[in-house]
Amino acid sequence: MARSNLFSGARLKIKRANKHIDELEAEIADFTKPDFCELFVEPDPTTNRQILKFHQTVPAPESIPLIVGDVFHNLRVALEHAAGRNRPPR
């Protein structure tokens, strides 16, 4: 097998993983716009210290964990290709 083709399957899977990462970054950017949460400070009655609290105002997109799963799947398969597990028999 030619050296340039040796890792072609792995390269394709990594390329696809990068597309998923770009999609994930876009989803996160949309989700984390300035109004996705509220921050406020409350006194802690037991310690007399101020506590910073966070309240999420918009639910996280259901697609985020799916995209993360796709990224990991593609990277795992890329490793399998590189290790020779998905190469055709000689």
Structural domains counted in the chain: 1
| pLDDT tens digits along 28-61 | 999 988 788 999 999 999 998 999 999 999 899 9
Q: Phi and psi of 39, rounded to 5°?
A: -115, 140
Residue 52 lies in a domain: no
Residue 68 lies in a domain: yes
Cα 8 to Cα 25: distance, rounded to the nearest angstrom = 26
Residue 65 lies in a domain: yes
Residue 25 lies in a domain: yes
Smallest CA-to-CA distance from 74 within 9, 24, 30, 29 is with 9
Write down the pLDDT at residue 4.
Answer: 59
Residue-number span of the structural domain to which 25 is assigned: 7-33+59-83
| Prediction pTM value | 0.72
Average pLDDT in the 69-77 region? Answer: 96
Q: How much of the chain is in helix, strand and coil states, percent to nearest 5? A: 55, 15, 30
